[in-house]
Amino acid sequence: MADAQRDQLAPVAVSDSPLVKFREFLEIRGEKLTEPRRVLVRHIFNSHKHFDADELVRDLHDAGHQVSRSTVYRTLRLLVEAGLLRELRLTNRNAFEHDYGYPAHDHLHCTACNRVVEFRNEEILRLRDAISLEHGFRPTGHRFLIDGVCAACSRAHTPRRRLDLI
């Protein structure tokens, strides 16, 4: 993703590293932070992006890590349960992204090039709280996803000849 930098928000400071958080979560469940899981968490939290499980498997192999597909899938589930990752249902795939150490935000998804753009909007939060209050709900989160075509794709698909005719 070439525009990755501009599409994302700045991380927020957290006291514990994702590895420490994950170890605590696993200990409560009576599980261990195995070496493949450690490799996975380090790799995932190295950079913020929206990735799916298959992409992560490919990435790990390219980086020379030997982590089985089933370990990747199972660990992703655990990381979501632990509150470290958040699942994002896009039109054509299920993506994951950092939740721990990253501000709450919403997304725009380009259905032409699959680019995902993050944004924060106070108006949406106000609306969410007002609707929740109306229904006696205590909101703990929300998902707001705009599907459409990004500016670059729109430009690419606008025939130039039309301008020539004017």
Q: What residues make contact with Zn ion under the rule CB under 5 A?
A: 97, 110, 112-113, 115, 118, 150, 153
Q: From 8, 12, 75, select the one nearest 42 (Cα to Cα).
A: 75
CB of 90 to Zn ion, least distance (A): 11
Q: Please say which residue, 24 or 103, places its beta carbon nearer to Zn ion.
A: 103
CB of 149 to Zn ion, least distance (A): 6
Q: Please say which residue, 82 or 85, places its beta carbon nearer to Zn ion.
A: 85
Q: Please say which residue, 39 or 108, places its beta carbon nearer to Zn ion.
A: 108
- Kindly list the distances between the CA atom of residue 61 and the CA atoms of 48, 57, 72, in Å, as whole numbers in the listed order: 19, 6, 11
Q: Please say which residue, 67 or 110, places its beta carbon nearer to Zn ion.
A: 110
CB of 110 to Zn ion, least distance (A): 3
CA angle in degrees (0–180, nearest 5) for 82-87-91: 170
Rounded to whole angstroms, how far apart are CA atoms 105 and 82?
A: 19
CB of 27 to Zn ion, least distance (A): 29
How many Cβ atoms sit within 10 Å of the Cβ of residue 150? 20
Rounded to whole angstroms, how far apart are CA atoms 115 and 92?
A: 12
